[in-house]
Amino acid sequence: MWQVVQEVTAVAEAELASTLRATKDPGGRKRRQEAAARLRALAPQWFDGGRGASRRETAGRSRPQPAVWRALRSGAVATAGTLQPLNASSAIVRAISATFHDAIVQHTAPSPIDVALARVQHARYVQALRDAGLAVTELPPLDAHPDACFVEDCALVAGDTALITRSGAPSRVGEADSIAEALARTHRIERTAAPATIDGGDCLRVGRTWFIGRSARTNAEGAQRVREVFGPLGYSVVEVPVRGFLHLKCVASRIGDGAVLVAEDSVDLKLFGGLFGGLEVVTIPRAEAYAANTVVVNGTALVAANHPRTRAALEQRGLRVIELDMSEFAKADGSLTCLSILLG
Ligand code: CIR
């Protein structure tokens, strides 16, 4: 039953958001029938179960297997997904550069970046990491690099290995050395050489898979470098085309060991393992896309403020949510995960 619930959840949330709405609405027989029809097309193996839905519900079509039907009826699909925890013990962050107002921006924001406010927001972010149980190391600012607070872009970490990246943004290439120095105390360091470019914001690790956004910042050689370093350690690499936004993690982040949060209509969800690939894919409305980037660690989710649907989806999965005002980072195309590297 549990396996079925997880599979139904993956399908419903990746492809059948309306299935969820239908199953939560006890009076919604017609909508439930429509959702079941789509589910039947996607997963015929779950049907022809003999018992399950009433004749009126199935209207002459094959019936869902009893366990599938119970999962749909009970609303378990809406509340399943007890997430496998993502634990860490420490984090690296970097103080805001005095030059942060010159950070790279894709689109000019309605108002300039307020560096003082960014510092206040950053301090709250650091405090939230501490509240989540992490020991935080704060590196000194790099004023020659306005974007240097976005430390995530500088390194990919898995186990005791850290791959130091080479940013696809020329002004950011010099940020990585001091991150390498900090990580070298605890990790085996690998490097990235030209022509490869990688931004950590494109690199989403879920379990033993690295999803690598192929964006303007991360090229084919960069993805290949991730394969070279992490392949022998048992990780596979899936490349994800990124169009219309900066990094893959602008629209997707990890919320459990086998679960991702993804903004609707942003990337091809099938790349996250196909319908039954084992990953739970939780979609949030496009209007809340900014909140798809969330830091989940030790049972706590740091979420951009004022995204109620995202907050609810995470709370429903048992996470404690801390909302943070990210206005100044958003102006610089940054969000929650960008500001830290989580370790151990
Ligand atoms: C940049 O364009 O590189 C910065 N302004 C934003 C980087 C955000 N980093 C991230 O999403 N990992």
Q: Looking at residue 175, which CATH number applies to its domain?
A: 3.75.10.10
Whose alpha carbon is nearest atom 2 of ligand 1?
104
Tell me, yes or no, whether 84 lies in a domain.
no
pLDDT along the chain (344 residues), means of 10: 44 42 49 60 65 67 69 42 78 98 92 97 98 98 98 97 98 97 97 98 93 97 98 93 95 91 88 59 94 97 98 94 98 98 96
Residue with tokens 């219309």, as numbered in its chain? 244
Distance in Å, CA 202 to ligand 1 centroid: 10
Domain end point (choices 52, 79, 106): 79
Whole-angstrom Cα distance, residue 180 to residue 100? 22
Provide the 10 A C-beta neighbour count for residue 142: 19
Tell me, yes or no, whether 310 lies in a domain.
yes
Distance in Å, CA 40 to ligand 1 centroid: 41
Q: Are residues 64 and 141 in the same domain?
A: no
Q: Which of 99, 153, 167, 339 to mutate to test the pocket of ligand 1 (most atoms within 8 A of CB)?
A: 153
Q: Are residues 20 and 137 in the same domain?
A: no
Q: Are residues 226 and 279 in the same domain?
A: yes
* Range of the structural domain that residue 132 is part of: 90-343
DSSP lists the bridge partners of residue 139 as 94
Q: Are residues 248 and 286 in the same domain?
A: yes
Distance in Å, CA 160 to ligand 1 centroid: 25
Q: Are residues 99 and 241 in the same domain?
A: yes
Tell me, yes or no, whether 85 lies in a domain.
no
Q: Are residues 225 and 281 in the same domain?
A: yes
Whole-angstrom Cα distance, residue 155 to residue 334? 16
Residue-wise DSSP of 84-113: PP---SEEEEEPPPTTGGG---SS--SS--
Q: Are residues 209 and 286 in the same domain?
A: yes
Strands (E) across 66-171 are located at 90-94, 135-139, 155-158, 161-164
Which pLDDT score, from 0 to 100, does residue 231 have?
96
Q: Are residues 156 and 264 in the same domain?
A: yes
Is the CB of residue 202 below 6 angstroms from any atom belonging to ligand 1? no
Is the CB of residue 152 below 6 angstroms from any atom belonging to ligand 1? yes
Is the CB of residue 169 below 6 angstroms from any atom belonging to ligand 1? yes
Q: Are residues 303 and 225 in the same domain?
A: yes
Q: Are residues 65 and 100 in the same domain?
A: no
Is the CB of residue 113 below 6 angstroms from any atom belonging to ligand 1? no
Whose alpha carbon is nearest atom 12 of ligand 1?
201
Position in ligand 1 atom list of the atom nearest CA 199: 12
Domain count for the chain, please give it.
Answer: 2
Q: Are residues 137 and 259 in the same domain?
A: yes
